[in-house]
Chain A
């Protein structure tokens, strides 16, 4: 099992934080840690690669009730925007 940490940025960070707090599906399980008003760290346990996991998280959030309306960006810790 791999563990990655991704940074999610959004002006409405509460919705990202609530979504990924103990989120789980067939591919990933996540926990979150808020670091600022617009950023959370999403810690992911998964069998996917870094890029696959990041894309999966972006996709599931985009398809969520509030994620479809929010402008957000996500990246692996240390990667440029």
Chain B
């Protein structure tokens, strides 16, 4: 039995069950889905910041190209209109996450998801650093409602979601109202005792922790868990390894990005948000604190979809002699421009294809390193803006850096490199087809 067959067997027997556990384990799913659900809000925040600096700022790249400030002299004044958008998105992400994690837990445990989420939000603020009085006015620090509070939000969401679901199912703890009472009131009273128990327990726990660690729970979790994980994530080796694992799972039929989603978010979320906050404050991605975030993968290593298959499509158009490859290539180019690659993945196919597996895994890793090198050498700024993953190829790098033209060039270099790497493998597929006398349009027999 060859290596490929052995690995296929291994994937079926070992990887699929593990991936299945990771994709169905309720705590992991609750975290993963919380980030997925909050993504549109953080993306909207990012796009508005990008718009603010690209269009409205006098030195914004779109403003400069279109001479907007000569046409509309007061345009820069509008920046202050849109600046508060971040205050309602990434700057309060932890509040979304704590609610959504507890809500997702309640959904999987079949309890009241809305009240579970609300209880978690309430609990998050029970353990929050207290108000500070300055000149007679009370202030609550915003330090822990954004990126820095993410881990506390996740932990509180998981614990509250779990406890709430268990306690609210106990008949002894339910207050059942007569049928004449409006449903919303009956619903609230039914879980009143569990909510009291949870909030009291967290208040006592918080008081105990504050006794031993006066800086508070948020500071403690941030120092002990979140910061080490962030440092692990903002490291090129972690980024490359995660990308390799994700693409390796992909070619063996396992949903790589979903499987690593919870780990990826835990490692990279804060760094990505800190970069976005930096550009919101400084108006430029230059000097953003974290050069390595998952955004590098999207900006330089995901054109055409996982495996950078846009490079594969170009390689097919250049050297493929097989009719089936060329037909699939033509069919795949339109979705491929928007990073959708199902036609290539299953049409060529790439999955379980011994010839294409190696470049599929190798190309993104190499492009991540190219992108990283361009950033750390100061050629381009870090990728600080979130851009929708369906944005065509090198435009992600361009927009992600706030309109840096060299980033666009580096993006095209990555595309050229990926094409060059794919070319010999497409030629090998030509040869395999010639040897086996296939490729006349029957893609199912293709290797």
Contact = CB atoms under 8 A, between A and B. Distances in A.
B342 A73 contact: yes
Interface residues of A, number: 22
Contact of B331 (A65, A71, A80): A80
Interface string B102-140: 000000000000000000000000000000000000000
A2 to B, nearest CB: 25
Contacts of A13: 253
A69 interface: yes
A72 interface: yes
Given A38-B346, A38-B352, A70-B16, A10 B24 contact: no
Contact of A11 (B343, B347, B351): B351
Given A12-B252, A71-B256, A72-B253, A81 B331 contact: yes
A71 B16 contact: no
Contacts of A35: 444
A56 interface: no
B349 to A, nearest CB: 6
Given A69-B23, A81-B331, A9 B254 contact: no
Interface string B255-275: 110110000000000000000
Interface string A4-27: 000001111111000000000000
A68 B23 CA distance: 6
A65 B20 contact: yes
A38 B16 contact: no
Given A69-B23, A71-B256, A12 B16 contact: yes
A69 B11 contact: no
Residue in A9, A35, A37, A81 with the greatest tally of chain B CB atoms within 10 Å: A81
Contacts of B352: 11, 37-38
B253 A70 contact: yes
B253 A71 contact: yes
B22 interface: yes
Nearest to B18: A69
Contact of B255 (A9, A37, A69): A69
Interface in A45-80: 65-66, 68-73, 80
Residue in A10, A11, A68 with the greatest tally of chain B CB atoms within 10 Å: A11
Interface in B4-20: 11-12, 16-17, 19-20
B444 A66 contact: no
A11 to B, nearest CB: 2
B331 A12 contact: no
Contacts of A81: 331-332, 335, 342-343, 346-347
A10 B11 CA distance: 13
Contacts of A65: 20, 24
A69 B349 contact: no
Contact of A73 (B22, B24, B346): B346
Contacts of B445: 36
A38 B444 CA distance: 8
A71 B250 CA distance: 7
A65 to B, nearest CB: 6
Given A65-B20, A69-B16, A69-B19, A36 B253 contact: no
B253 A11 contact: yes
Interface in B219-256: 250-256
A69 B444 contact: no
B16 A66 contact: yes
A68 B20 contact: yes
B57 to A, nearest CB: 41
B346 A12 contact: no
Nearest to B249: A71
B347 A12 contact: no
A12 B444 contact: no
A50 to B, nearest CB: 19
Nearest to A15: B16
A59 B74 CA distance: 51
Nearest to A67: B20
Residue in B16, B335, B346, B347 with the greatest tally of chain A CB atoms within 10 Å: B346
Given A69-B24, A71-B254, 10 more contacts: A9-B349, A11-B251, A11-B252, A12-B254, A38-B346, A38-B352, A69-B19, A69-B255, A81-B343, A81-B346
14 contacts: A11-B352, A15-B16, A35-B444, A38-B349, A38-B352, A66-B17, A68-B24, A69-B20, A69-B258, A69-B259, A71-B250, A71-B254, A72-B253, A73-B342
User: Which 10 A/B pairs are nearest by Cβ-Cβ distance?
Assistant: A11-B253, A11-B351, A69-B19, A9-B346, A81-B343, A12-B253, A69-B20, A69-B23, A68-B23, A71-B255
